[in-house]
Structure 1
Amino acid sequence: MTARDAAYAALDTTVDGITTDARTAEELFAVVDLLDGQPTLRRSLSDPSAADANRARLAERLLGGKISQAALSVVTAVVQTPWSSANRLVTGLERQGIRLALQSAHREGRIDDVTGELYQLAGTVDANRELAAALRNAQYPVAAKRDLLNRLVSGKVHPVTAMLASRAVKARKRTFALTAKSYVEMGAELAGEQIAQVTVARPLDAERVARLKSALEKQVGGPVNLQIEVDPAVLGGMNVVIGDDVIESTVAARLEDARRQLTHL
Structure 2
Amino acid sequence: MSAVSRESYAAAGERLAAYAAGAPAEAVAATAEEILSLASLLAGEPRLRRALSDPAREGQDRAGLLRSVFAGKVGAATIDLLSALVVGRWSSAELLNAVERIGVDALLAAADLGGELAEVEDELFRFGQVVDGSPELASTVSDSSALPERRIALVHSLLVGKARPVTVRLAELAVRGFGGRNFAAGLSRLVELTAERRERQVAYVTVASPLSELAQGRLATALSGIYGREMSLRFTIDPRILGGISVQVGSDLYDGTVARRFVDTRNALVAR
Aligned to 2:221: 218
Deviates more, 1:6-15 or 1:142-151: 6-15
Tell me whether 1:246 sits opposite 2:247 in the alignment: no
Helix, strand or coil: the match of 2:63? helix
**Structure 1 stretches (4+) deviating beyond 6 angstroms?**
253-263
> Cα offset for 1:173?
4.3
Q: What is the aligned partner in structure 2 of residue 92 from structure 1?
A: 98
Runs of 5+ unmatched residues, structure 1: none
Return the alpha-carbon distance in structure 1 between the equivalents of residues 119 and 34 of structure 2: 23
Please provide the CA RMSD for this pair: 3.1
Separation in structure 2 between the aligned mates of residue 223 and residue 45 of structure 1, nearest angstrom? 38
Deviation readout 1:213-254 (Å, 9 max, x if unpaired): 543443325422121112132446654445647384x67678
Alignment check: 8 A CA contact 1:116 1:226 kept: no
Taking the TM superposition and a 5 Å limit, the aligned residue runs for 1:58-137 are 58-85=65-92, 87-137=93-143
**Aligned mates of 1:257, 1:92 — CA distance in 2:** 42
Contact 2:203–2:248, Cα closer than 8 Å, also in 1: yes
SS in 2 for 1:17: helix
In 2, Cα distance between the equivalents of 1:61 and 1:258? 65
Following superposition, the deviation at residue 39 of structure 1 comes to 2.0
**Secondary structure of the structure 2 residue equivalent to 1:67:** coil
| Aligned length, in residue pairs | 258
> For residues 123 and 59 of structure 1, do their structure 2 counterparts lie closer, same or farther at Cα, with a shift above 3 Å needed?
same
> 1:103-252 to 2 correspondence within 5 Å?
103-171=109-177, 172-202=179-209, 208=212, 211=214, 214-219=217-222, 220-221=224-225, 222-235=229-242, 238-242=245-249, 244=252, 246=254, 248=256
Equivalent of 1:49 in 53, 56, 66? 56
Q: Deviations over 1:185-217 (max 9, x none)?
A: 22222222122222233567xxx55x5554344
Report percent identity of matched pairs: 35
